[in-house]
Structure formats: structure tokens, C-alpha cells
Structure 1
Amino acid sequence: MDFLKLENQLCFPLYALSRKVTAHYKPLLDELDLTYPQYLVMLLLWEHQTLSVKELGDHLMLDSGTLTPLLKRLEQKKIVSRKRSAEDERIVLISLTPDGKKLQEKAVEVPNKLQCSLSLSDEDIVVTRSQIIKLLNKLKDV
């Protein structure tokens, strides 16, 4: 096997898949006025209500330099609020605003619409996601 051929690389199909799946999200997220990274932040906040910037970064595997401008834009849209922790001023807490909570009602259909746009069964989603998470977990420790 020629290891330097693009078709033999693991990285390229993962990269291409990520771009294609993200492109399928775009029209759905345009309706919510969210970018894909903003949507990921909102998913976490809908689940947890309030998280620190560090916790968001840990979940999303992003550094604060990437998250800070993204969070500022969400704050400008009035769907999240940022404030310093009373216990430790170094910690910035991100919370949902009432508008951010309302946005969840509109977003509830996004996963199903995405699944339909990709023509994937529930089983396809579970199996594919499981394999990707398995690989991702191996790489987390590297």
C-alpha cells in the first residue's frame, strides 16, 4: 500500500466528512442565526444552563482565545450573558438569557432535520457516532 496517497489517509475522509456535515447544518442554523460553533456552545448551555469558559472549552476542545470572540457574539445577540464568578474573578461564567432559552424551542428540530438531510437511520447515527467517539477518545490521551 502506498501510504502517501490521499486515498489511503485516515485524516482526509474525516476532514471532508466534517466539512460536509457542517455544510448540512448551515441552512438549519441560519434559521436560528447561529454558526456551527455557536450552536455547539448553545447545546451545552441548554443542557447545563451555566458553564465557565474553561468548562465550555474542555467540552468543545477549544481554547479561550477561540471561544472568547464566539461568546462575545452570542452575548451581542442577547442569548447568553457573561459575568465573572463572585468566588473567583478569574472565572468567567456563561449563562443563558431568556432569549437563549427561547431559542432552544426553535432548535429542537435541528437534529432530526439533519438526520433526514443525510438520509441516515437511527442505527446509522448510533454506529457512526460510536466509532468516531472511540477514535476521539484514543486521541484525547495523546
Structure 2
Amino acid sequence: MSTNLLLEKQLCFRLYSLNKLMCRLYAPILKDLDLTYPQYLAMLVLWQNMKGISVKDLGNQLDLDSGTLSPLLKRMEARGLLIRVRQSSDERVVIIKLTKEGKALKQSAEHIPGEMFAVTGLTPEKLFSLNQDLDQLMANING
């Protein structure tokens, strides 16, 4: 058997396993905030764009298509975290804005990055380097 076909030599498997592990680690922390992992990612973008962001731009940042993003946003809107407003100058554009509750949730989430960083066992420098390497890998794959 070719050694290239061993499971432990596959980068895709390591990334897949790491993704599952990270989601499992986030789940109990996010449960306290009543957020799913994809909702948390959306909130991170929304907290960076407190004045609002278009659905299209949010989808681009999260690498989610509208078929996945729309139901997620509807659930978050029903929970009172955000509102969706059609842009007056172009009604095809929908802007997402955080509500007071959505903005207030940021304070409750402030501990999450530190808590997750502590679990990694990495130094800040190693984490920075790893993020740079992963960004480069994504850029290489995306062409």
C-alpha cells in the first residue's frame, strides 16, 4: 500500500478532526449564550460591524451561501439578536443590524477567545504563526 494513502498522512483528515474537536469544545460555552457555533461566527462579524453589514458581505466573510445563511439569520432575528432591513437606495440589498440584545451579548462572550486559547496549549506567538500558515494554505488553495 502506498504510504501516501495512509489516513494519518492526510492533511484533510487532520483539519476535519480538528474542526470537529473545536466545535465540541465551543458547544458547552456557547450553550450558555444560547448560540450555535455558526451563530457565534455570525455574531463575531456583526460585533465588528456594529453599524450594520449586508447579508451578501456577511456571507462572503463566513463563506456561507444564502441558503445556509438565511435560516440562520431568521432564527437569530426571532431570538431578538438582530434585525434585517432592506436598503432604501437598493431594495435588493438587505442590511443586518444588531439589536440592543445582540450588542449586549458581546459582553457575555468576551471570555470565549481566552478560554479557547487556554485549551490549545499554544503560545501567542505559535498561535499567530499557525494562523498565518492556515491563511496561506487557504490562499494557495483558493488560487
Cα separation, 2, equivalents of 1:122 and 1:28: 21
Q: Does the alignment pair 1:136 with 2:138?
A: yes
Counterparts of 2:135 and 2:91, CA distance in 1: 34
Stretches of structure 1 that go unaligned for 5 or more consecutive residues are: none
2:14 counterpart of 1:30: no
Match of 1:106 in 2: 108
Q: Identify unmatched segments of 5+ residues in structure 2.
A: none
Range that drifts further, 42-51 or 114-123: 114-123
Identity of aligned residues (%): 43
Partner of 2:66: 64
Structure 2 CA distance, aligned partners of 1:87 and 1:100? 26
Counterpart-to-counterpart distance in 1, 2:6 and 2:21: 21
Structure 1 runs of 4+ with >6 Å offset: none
Q: TM-score with structure 1 length normalisation? A: 0.94
Instruction: Give the secondary-structure state (helix, strand or coil) at the position aligned to 1:22.
Output: helix
Query: Which residue of the partner structure matches residue 14 of structure 1?
Result: 15
TM-score with structure 2 setting the length? 0.93
Partner of 1:52: 54
Distance 1:129 1:23 in 2: 20
The secondary structure found in structure 2 opposite 1:33 is: coil
**3-state SS of 1:89 partner:** strand
User: Number of matched residues?
Assistant: 141
Q: Distance in 2 between matches of 1:33 and 1:77?
A: 10
Rounded Cα–Cα distance in structure 2 between residues aligned with 1:34 and 1:23: 13
Hey, what's the Cα distance between the residues in 1 that align with 2:96 and 2:105? 16
* Alignment correspondent of 1:118: 120
Using the TM superposition, give the Cα deviation of residue 117 of structure 1 relative to its aligned residue in structure 2, in angstroms.
Answer: 2.3
